[in-house]
């Protein structure tokens, strides 16, 4: 299937299952809201932990959503059909990842600044938070997809997926939250943002190959 065809298919399927968009977003907001309740409502404290809290919440939301990336197709047999065709899997997988970002990542990006504001993040940092999450969510989806491709055929796949993917998320988390802390302190951010952009480009262009390999392994091709 071509890029646009796959993209259209994914968006159409998601349109019929709005839960795919709403659940990760709801999770994101709820988890972030838990921290003032569980830790402390003090503005200074919240402002200090805000970068990390928003990032961890976004990370977990992406992780949860990525588990279902291939599961529906695997269960319905559509995945096997796609793999049996003698074509390069790179393009359809890339389209699937783009679609997934549009459906899952983009809402997180749009809501993140609001959550930053609610956690008393200084305004200088909120813009950087937006850009950082914009760059980070595709990276996390790409890396998560690799894990998903390896665990799609397993029954306890969800838990195992988290175990596999969370260590791989550490660099994005460290740099993503770090750059927002930097911005809050008034330090220069362009270097780290460039690094995040590099990670996004690298992971998003290389991951589809790994995902394709993982899918072939999982379905025994």
What is the x/- site pattern for another protein, positions 106-145, by CB under 8 A? -------------------------------------x--
Does 164 participate in binding another protein (rule CB under 8 A)? yes
210 binds another protein (CB under 8 A): yes
Q: State which of residues 93, 133, 146, 193 lies at the interface with another protein (CB under 8 A).
A: 146
| Distance from the Cα of residue 211 to its chain's centroid | 15
Out of 38, 77, 86, 220, point to the residue binding another protein (CB under 8 A): 220
Half-sphere exposure at residue 4, Cβ-oriented, CA atoms within 13 angstroms: 0
Q: Does 52 bind another protein (CB under 8 A)?
A: no
Query: What's the Cα-to-Cα distance from 124 to each of 27, 61, 180, 187, 189, rounded to whole Å?
Result: 26, 25, 9, 10, 11
For another protein, the binding residue among 5, 30, 39, 174 (CB under 8 A) is: 174
Asked if 160 is part of the footprint of another protein (rule: CB under 8 A), the reply reads yes
Tell me if 190 contacts another protein by CB under 8 A: no
Q: With CA atoms as reference, report the closest residue to 116 among 200, 24, 195, 181.
A: 181
Euclidean distance between CA atoms 221 and 193, whole angstroms: 39
> Residues 186, 187, 190, 195: is their CA dihedral positive or negative?
negative
Does residue 204 bind another protein (CB under 8 A)? Answer: no
Helices (H), ranges, 17-122: 19-38, 43-66, 71-76, 78-84, 90-100, 106-118
CB of 175 to another protein, least distance (A): 6
Residues that bind another protein (CB under 8 A): 143, 146-147, 150-151, 154, 156, 160, 163-164, 166-168, 170-171, 174-175, 178, 181-182, 199, 210, 213-214, 217-218, 220
């Amino acid at each position: 299937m071509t890029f646009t065809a796959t993209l259209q298919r994914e968006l159409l399927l998601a349109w019929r299952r709005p839960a795919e968009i709403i659940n990760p977003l709801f999770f994101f907001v709820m988890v972030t809201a838990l921290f003032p309740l569980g830790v402390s409502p003090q503005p200074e404290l919240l402002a200090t932990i805000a970068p990390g809290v928003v990032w961890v919440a976004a990370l977990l939301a992406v992780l949860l959503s990525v588990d279902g990336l291939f599961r529906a197709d695997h269960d319905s047999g559509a995945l096997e059909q796609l793999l049996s065709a003698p074509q390069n899997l790179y393009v359809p997988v890339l389209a699937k990842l783009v679609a997934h970002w549009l459906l899952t990542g983009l809402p997180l990006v749009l809501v993140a600044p609001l959550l930053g504001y609610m956690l008393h993040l200084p305004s200088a940092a909120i813009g950087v938070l937006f850009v950082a999450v914009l760059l980070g969510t595709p990276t996390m989806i790409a890396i998560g997809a690799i894990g998903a491709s390896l665990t799609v055929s397993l029954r306890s796949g969800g838990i195992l997926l988290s175990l596999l993917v969370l260590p791989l998320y550490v660099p994005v988390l460290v740099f993503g939250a770090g750059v927002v802390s930097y911005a809050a302190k008034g330090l220069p951010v362009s270097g780290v943002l460039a690094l995040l952009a590099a990670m996004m480009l690298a992971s998003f262009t290389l991951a589809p190959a790994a995902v394709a390999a993982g899918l072939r392994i999982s379905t025994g091709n």
